[in-house]
Structure 1
Amino acid sequence: MRFRQVHLDFHTSEAIEEIGSHFSKQQFQEMLQLGHVDSITVFSKCHHGWAYHPSTANEMHPHLSFDLLGAQIEAAHEIGVKTPVYLSAGLDEKLARRHPEWLIRDPQEKLSWSPDFMTPGYHQFCMNTPYLDILAAQVREVVTRYDADGIFLDIVGVRECYCQSCVAEIRRRGFDPRDLEAMRTLWEETYFRYAKAMDEAVHAIKPGLPVFHNSGHVKRGRRDLAKLNTHLELESLPTGGWGYDHFPLSARYAQGLGMDVLGMTGKFHTSWGEFGGYKHPNALKYETALSLANGARISIGDQLHPTGLMDLATYTLIGEAFREVEAKEAWCADVTSIADVALLSAEAAGEPGTAGQQADTGAVRILLEGHYLFDVVDTESDLSSYSVVILPDVITIDEPLKTKLTAYLAQGGKILATGRSGLSPDGSRFELDFGATPHGAFVSNPSYFRPDFELPSLRNASFVIYADGQDIQLNSNGTQLGSRENSYFNRDLFTFCSHQHTPSNLQDAGPGMVEGPAGIYAAWNLFADYALKGSLPVKEILHYALDRLLERKTVRTNLPAQGVTTLQAQTDNNRWIHHLLYASPVRRGQNVEVIEDLPVLSDIAATVTVPAQVREVYLAPQRTPLPFRQENGSVHYTLPSWSCHQMVVLQF
């Protein structure tokens, strides 16, 4: 899989004429070369439903007079650029108006995506209808007629649907459509049947051709869904609704699945379909570097103008980022993550809702800002290489997970758990020994934590915690690390105080954080609290707990809080690559995070614990030797001034 891909959207209305009229092989090639692009996803079929080539399985766009897809493939291949081919699978607006009975419906018969046919927008198809056979024929046609380097199928996944095809099928099986579990089984089967049909449509003709089914998010904990793909493309446009927290969370999980991974961002200021929108070149430089640091290759989203003319400003912008990627590729291929900490994803452990999302997001932010080396794992992951496993906020312990974690603890591992994590599913007991006993949920909201340790940035105090939590009692084998205090009363009609909430009554209400044989337990949903409030005390409390459990961090650095550090091993080259990144997103407009300035950092030092003698340390891709000293199992070095992204190579 190539490092420098463009995803060239071409969702083009039938109301626009002269489609592809300005396409030029020479101009297409010049823009790809300007952009340092080595792979470009081109369109067979768009969300409007039209084909961009002669077709018997579909209909060519009414205002296209030639084989645009074939011309793009020929032009790209002529200069050594690969061409995966895109087909809109879940959306086909042309066909939606002809066969509305094939569309996804909710229990009230409302449509998916656009709510009706009087509102501009698309409508999503159910794959438990004759539409599946039509789509399979379209895919077969592309694979048969064109030299595609892969197939990208969009807007698919396990979908809730109550269309009449699904209702009839569930009744044929003897179930009631109001039986949610029966419907979930049907929805899962529908998606797997779709994936099998697409696999047969592709691989019966071209075995081994890459295929990816895009749902906008790779669900953690569903390896069966991930393995339906030959590789993963992690759609994560920071300004398009995903934010800058999503990609590290997604990538730190995906790399551990042993599949090739592309990180997908966009050139847009906001998101897909934004003609005339451009992000700052520094943002793309940072986002592409973030992919490399997480073991991923890169895809940048663009949208082709209806005339087929490639945009000079776009490929100049992309070229600034991809030029740097091209220089770095040798140190970023075939890498494996080195990590001290495993974050057991709440989503992967069966908490897919808002609470699980907040727990995962807050945990990743805490780990990034503390410069910990971490992987995101699921319940199938091998935990033996990690010093600490984090159970964020909402992970109750069933028997299989208890067995796994007990074995992990027996080999010397430690656990950091917060909130409901570590409890039995009914909340009556801890399934792991944290030296405490639970006694139900807090009544006080909010409550306060007074640590028995000093925070680095603040003198000791009663620190407000907004999140829910658990009342606990210390056992004889536990050590209290801080106490909980309640507010005088909860805010209510006749009992409220000041502008927000009632202060602490300054009375000890029991332990707030404890340490026992299994590790450390904090009584609040601290990771969700950090995701929602971003409180400095909460961050430093969690960093204290992690540092107490980690006997020795593999990497220590004085990067600023918004800096990111990862460590990747290139085993075949007998070297480690230490990635350091820094950019600070700012908020513009209405909830749009942008990166514009890339400040120069100086005097950034690092200490890396290594397993063997290091022969040399150098900067990549500059190949500049870096002075270092190795003592007591660690390598120490200080970087010269740098900005955005610097790789340090430790050659054994």
Structure 2
Amino acid sequence: MSNWINSTFRKLHLDYHQPEWMKAVAGGFTEEEARRQVAMFKEAGIEAVEFFAYDHYGHTFYPSDIAPAHPGLQNDYTGLMSRALKEAGLRTILYLNAFTSVHLQKDHPEWLRVLEDGTLARGAWLQHEASQACISSGFLDEYYLPLLKEAVTRHEPDAVWIDGGSWTVEYPCYCENCRKQFLEDTGRGLPLGPMPEPGEELNSPDWLQWRLWRRGQIFHYVRKLVAAVKEISPETLVAENNLGKYFYGLPLMEGGKFVRWLTPKELGLDWLSCDPVHFGANHEMIFSKEGRYQATTGLTYDYMNERFHGWGEWQIRPTTDWKLEMATILAVGARGFFADQPYPDGRLEPAVYRELGAVHEFMKEREPYATGTHIVPEVAVLASLPSQLLGPVAGAEWGRDKHWGALPKSRMDRVDGASQFLVEMGIQHLIYDEATLREQLDRQALVIVPDQCLMEAATIAALETYVENGGRLIVTGRSGLWDEQGRRRQGDLFAGLLGLTRGAVLPAPLHYWQAGDELAGKLAFGQIRLQAWGTALQAEMEGAEPLAQLLEPVEEVWADSRKRRSDWRHYTTVGAAPAGNTVAAPAVTLHSYGQGSVMYLNGDLFALYYLEGHRLIREWLDVCINDIYPRATRMIQVQKPLHVEMVLNARSTDSGEELMVHFLNYFAQKRPGYVIHNEEIMPVQGISFQVATPAKPSRVLLQPENMELAWKWDGTRAIIELPMLELHAIVQIII
């Protein structure tokens, strides 16, 4: 089956949730208006449009025989839009919400999610009580799948996009359906009391089993979705909003027992798609890190950006923002999916589409250089799927003032921090789950395991073989101390590779890293001890070479020599205490193993860097990585400002191979809050880079300007100067 999503760069999503009290819904959306809008879409360069059939409130926007149409619906919005798009030759994508509805309480209260106190839960972001359907109930088979089949039969879309499904199945439900199924599958009753705080559930076996069981239901739901659509229309493509992210893994559960974690390709979806942006959040950073993972999945993937500051508004952001977001999407191998929101009567703002048309012209010039390309692997960052969902949170877990830092800590900060650091340092990298990394280890020059606490034994064994055969590996913190189900291992499977055995958690919430003489000489501020908040471990050396030591804070900070958490005393404004003289453990070690080498960092520095971006952390990480993977040996070396992002892509052509080096000029304005704008891009001059090529290039061009660039060849590398970077530049190297 042809997946047309891969060759469709410019899609439009029309967000159209309407509460039941809204009047004159689609009142202005006549057949004439539908055709006028579609003509406007074509003028703006849009190739496919997603429009609503069924919303979060549980309303259809066409006359349905199964679900209630919106009480204020005046025209068949879904049908009119579908027909107008097809007449104009544009692809159609049907939007349906899944597990929220304000109408179920009346006829099917037994389908609703029940809280432990017996009250009925709100669905997603709705303000209505009793509006969340339970995945364990008959809702899916008896109501939703028949509705999905009806919508596909009537409107014959090219694709279906399901929302409000997997991402709503995360919290406990005490309905009779859940009680019965959980008992049948596990032999246990549902766990009582509030869910454990992040990091505590590994010590709560009942809750751990429930988390795996609950997430395991999602795969069976997705499989039913896909089967229902394909039964009606095998050629209709299916996506489920937010599935396929590295921090949203799904376990395969059979008979209540854990089997394994599923890769995105196993979910059965035709493409990965998501609206990944929190209200006002940082689009470019989100697209970059998520694209660097989904590029490894083997699936087509797209991301939404939008006209507004946050969902549910009618504002308009700067088109410079849109262009940079779209360029980032292209650079990481994704496809665009711009989001707008009609007014309740179905009308749209023409000015938005005039602006969007200019953005799409900008994109159309660049699309030929993204067609058929893939991101080149060099450095791998491991994102173990269970480590993003279970286990200790990242960074400073206690001891620091609770108001320090505006962002909440999460388990993903470790992977995000590693990617952010590598972006800033201009190091080519991708993000892998465990199964995919094992398949592609032979393509990696360096693997980083950033405190991935839960890991499969098969991955650690594969890394051992990889290093033995000459690979390079960096492991941090508590990586691999738990298995993929969250069970603490009796021994340290990484011990042989690391050349040390990790022991108990050290009592202090922060330590200081003191560089040895050789390492200190490579650091700009080698005489300053690096303050590192977060968990560190005792370690018994078994062949590794220490490069830096871990110093405890001064003894006086403890109220008692037992050094328990309750004995920690607040010292400075945010809780830090100065370094003492006691060496607690090694901080950085290097171990030769077979033909390769392994570095261990005793802490959670990547998470700390993501939250704080501290220059000393960046300098330490830079020097450590250069020790194990020297700059001179890297596939691509770049001299650029920290804020410029580089992504190296490649493709094969009839005449040979081409490299496409993307440069993105991220330049956000100063803002005190969460809303990020890249409205005024300041040009960057004098970027230079070297890239290894299998043969001497025939031409080096700046695209889409088709301008010859100055370059030299040293026998193995092309040395290239990019005279100026404005918003986005593509350097095409033809070999």
| Count of residues in Structure 1 that have an aligned counterpart in Structure 2 | 648
CA distance in 2, matches of 1:580, 1:36: 24
Over 3 Å counting, the alpha-carbon distance change for 1:421 and 1:53 in structure 2 is: same
Give the corresponding residue for 1:605. Answer: 688
Identify the match of residue 431 of structure 2 among 372, 376, 384: 376
Give the corresponding residue for 1:236. Answer: 276
CA distance in 2, matches of 1:264, 1:505: 50
Over 3 Å counting, the alpha-carbon distance change for 1:123 and 1:245 in structure 2 is: farther
Identify the match of residue 214 of structure 2 among 180, 187, 196: 187
Give the corresponding residue for 2:151. Answer: 142
> Normalized against structure 1, the TM-score is what?
0.92
List runs of 5+ in structure 2 lacking aligned partners.
192-205, 251-261, 395-410, 483-487, 560-567
Give the corresponding residue for 1:312. Answer: 350
SS in 2 for 1:138: helix
Give the corresponding residue for 1:413. Answer: 471
Identify the match of residue 71 of structure 1 among 74, 80, 85: 80
Over 3 Å counting, the alpha-carbon distance change for 1:168 and 1:496 in structure 2 is: closer
Over 3 Å counting, the alpha-carbon distance change for 1:412 and 1:588 in structure 2 is: same
Matched, 1:532 2:611: yes
CA distance in 2, matches of 1:31, 1:528: 45
Would you say the 8 A contact 1:347–1:360 is kept in 2?
Answer: no
Over residues 301-349 of structure 1, what are the superposed CA-to-partner deviations in whole Å (9 max), with x where a residue is unaligned?
2211111111123223433322211111111122222121111114455
Give the corresponding residue for 2:406. Answer: none
- Within 5 Å, which residues of 2 pair with 1:40-59? 40-59=49-68
Over residues 566-621 of structure 1, what are the superposed CA-to-partner deviations in whole Å (9 max), with x where a residue is unaligned?
11112246211111101133463532233222111111111111122311111121
Would you say the 8 A contact 1:19–1:64 is kept in 2?
Answer: yes
- Tell me how large the CA RMSD over aligned residues is: 2.7
Over 3 Å counting, the alpha-carbon distance change for 1:474 and 1:169 in structure 2 is: closer
- Within 5 Å, which residues of 2 pair with 1:426-437? 426=489, 429=492, 430-437=494-501
CA distance in 2, matches of 1:169, 1:465: 45
> Normalized against structure 2, the TM-score is what?
0.82
Q: CA deviation at 1:36?
A: 2.1
Give the corresponding residue for 2:402. Answer: none
CA distance in 1, matches of 2:581, 2:125: 56
Q: CA deviation at 1:641?
A: 1.8
- Within 5 Å, which residues of 2 pair with 1:533-612? 533-551=612-630, 552-572=633-653, 574-586=657-669, 588=671, 590-612=673-695
Paired residue type of 2:605: L
CA distance in 2, matches of 1:421, 1:412: 21
Identify the match of residue 466 of structure 1 among 517, 526, 533: 533
Give the corresponding residue for 1:512. Answer: 587
Over 3 Å counting, the alpha-carbon distance change for 1:350 and 1:21 in structure 2 is: closer
CA distance in 2, matches of 1:591, 1:454: 39
Paired residue type of 1:16: M
SS in 2 for 1:389: strand
SS in 2 for 1:257: coil
CA distance in 1, matches of 2:531, 2:684: 34
CA distance in 2, matches of 1:588, 1:58: 45
Matched, 1:213 2:279: no
Mean alpha-carbon deviation: is it higher for 325-334 or for 69-78? 69-78
Would you say the 8 A contact 1:47–1:88 is kept in 2?
Answer: yes
Would you say the 8 A contact 2:464–2:497 is kept in 1?
Answer: no
CA distance in 1, matches of 2:569, 2:157: 68
CA distance in 2, matches of 1:446, 1:170: 41
CA distance in 1, matches of 2:210, 2:275: 28
Over 3 Å counting, the alpha-carbon distance change for 1:6 and 1:97 in structure 2 is: farther
Mean alpha-carbon deviation: is it higher for 5-14 or for 127-136? 127-136
Give the corresponding residue for 2:367. Answer: 329
Mean alpha-carbon deviation: is it higher for 147-156 or for 626-635? 626-635
Over 3 Å counting, the alpha-carbon distance change for 1:67 and 1:345 in structure 2 is: same
CA distance in 2, matches of 1:525, 1:478: 20
- Within 5 Å, which residues of 2 pair with 1:470-481? 470-475=537-542, 477-481=543-547
Paired residue type of 1:568: N
Paired residue type of 2:711: F
SS in 2 for 1:548: helix
Matched, 1:402 2:460: yes
Give the corresponding residue for 2:398. Answer: none
Give the corresponding residue for 1:265. Answer: 305
What stretches of structure 1 move > 6 A for 4+ residues in a row?
none
Q: CA deviation at 1:240?
A: 4.0
Matched, 1:105 2:114: yes
Give the corresponding residue for 1:129. Answer: 137
CA distance in 2, matches of 1:626, 1:115: 51
CA distance in 1, matches of 2:582, 2:181: 61
Matched, 1:358 2:406: no
Q: CA deviation at 1:288?
A: 0.9
SS in 1 for 2:649: strand
Paired residue type of 2:459: L
Over 3 Å counting, the alpha-carbon distance change for 1:106 and 1:651 in structure 2 is: farther
CA distance in 2, matches of 1:580, 1:201: 43
SS in 2 for 1:607: strand
